[in-house]
A and B are shown apart, each in its own frame.
Chain A
Amino acid sequence: MSKEHFINLLRLHLHNMDPMERDELIAEYEAHFLFGQQSGKKEEQVASELGDPIDLAKQVMGDQYRPPYHIHEQSNNVDSSGNNSSSSGVIIRSLGVIFLSIFIFPFLLTGWTMWLTYAILVFTFLISPFVLVLELMFGGEFLTAEVFLASLLVGIGLLLVTSVRTVMRWYLVINQKYFNWMSSTIKGRK
């Protein structure tokens, strides 16, 4: 284990410690690494002599120890699916997901753009009477046809306005499903 990895793990598992005290304690371990390296030891050797950082964090915190959230979730995954999240597996699955995402993301984005266009269109329908009023205020000519058109647009707008939200929710669910699938695939859950 490298010094950086050791310190990061320690910091992660001391997440609910008072920040000042935590920094002070971590400074001790960092100094220990420096003293160790000064006496001719390799980082990895110092780390293994220090022991498991998670165990150390548990000793520091006692019954105040709380595992960091995502570690918790990961261990649940391992429980439910067997131990198939080896590090090489994670890398290969991540690469797969990344390449797939390069293909999928533009489609997801296009969907959002279409939704936005639709929302703006409906909004424009709804505010068309105000546009008409504005036009008259700035000296536009009064046309009966325009009034009819505006009221028609408001009518259509009102009919469509609830669908804007429905479409958004429906599309959000699709996006969510994709992201969930991505994260569970990387973690190696079936």
Chain B
Amino acid sequence: MKEIVQFKKGVLGLCVLVLINQRDRYGFELAQQISKHIEVAEGAIYPVLRRLVTDGHCTTYLQESTEGPPRKYYKLTAEGKTYLQELVGEWNIFVDSVGALISETEERNQDE
């Protein structure tokens, strides 16, 4: 179980960046979007967002809303965009490699 929790946590940054790249979003919205696809503790996205800001991949701005508290929006910076492209590339290689590893060993098991 620990592995599952860990790789879900590990991919949160990538998911957040992808969603923010599409358009600026606020924390709650990001949590909702991500938990639609991945079962993960929603609270974990806030530490990720904080790190993305301190690393310069995102900036924030506040926007008042007609209902509820002001929303803190996250916006991708130019560095963030480059970083995202790099991440997506790495992710695809990673998934392919792990997939290859699994299918390779499965084939061998069948041969034996």
**Residues of A bordering B, CB below 8 Å:** 21, 25, 28-32, 34-36, 38, 49-53, 55-56, 59-60
Distance A126 CA – B41 CA, assembled complex (angstroms) = 71
List the A residue with the shortest CB-CB distance to B40: A51
Distance A32 CA – B30 CA, assembled complex (angstroms) = 11
Asked whether B35 is an interface residue with its Cβ less than 8 Å from the other chain, the reply is: yes
Contact in complex: A49, B35 (CB < 8 Å): yes
Residues of chain A within 8 A (CB-CB) of B47 are 25, 56, 59-60
Distance A29 CA – B43 CA, assembled complex (angstroms) = 8
Contact in complex: B69, A31 (CB < 8 Å): yes
Q: What is the CB-to-nearest-CB distance from A47 to chain B, in angstroms, rounded to a whole number?
A: 9
Distance A187 CA – B29 CA, assembled complex (angstroms) = 42
Contact of A25 among B28, B44, B50, B71 (CB under 8 A): B50
Contact of B27 among A28, A38, A49, A53 (CB under 8 A): A28
Question: Beyond A31-B27, A38-B67, is A51–B46 a contact (Cβ under 8 Å)?
Answer: no
Distance A69 CA – B27 CA, assembled complex (angstroms) = 31
Instruction: List CB contacts (< 8 Å) of B61-98 with chain A.
Output: 67-69, 71-72
Question: Beyond A25-B50, A49-B35, A60-B47, is A34–B42 a contact (Cβ under 8 Å)?
Answer: no
Instruction: Add 13 more A-B contacts to A35-B69, A50-B43, A59-B44 (CB < 8 A).
Output: A28-B46, A31-B27, A32-B31, A32-B46, A49-B35, A49-B41, A50-B41, A50-B42, A51-B42, A52-B41, A56-B44, A56-B47, A60-B47
Contact in complex: B68, A34 (CB < 8 Å): yes
Contact in complex: B41, A55 (CB < 8 Å): yes
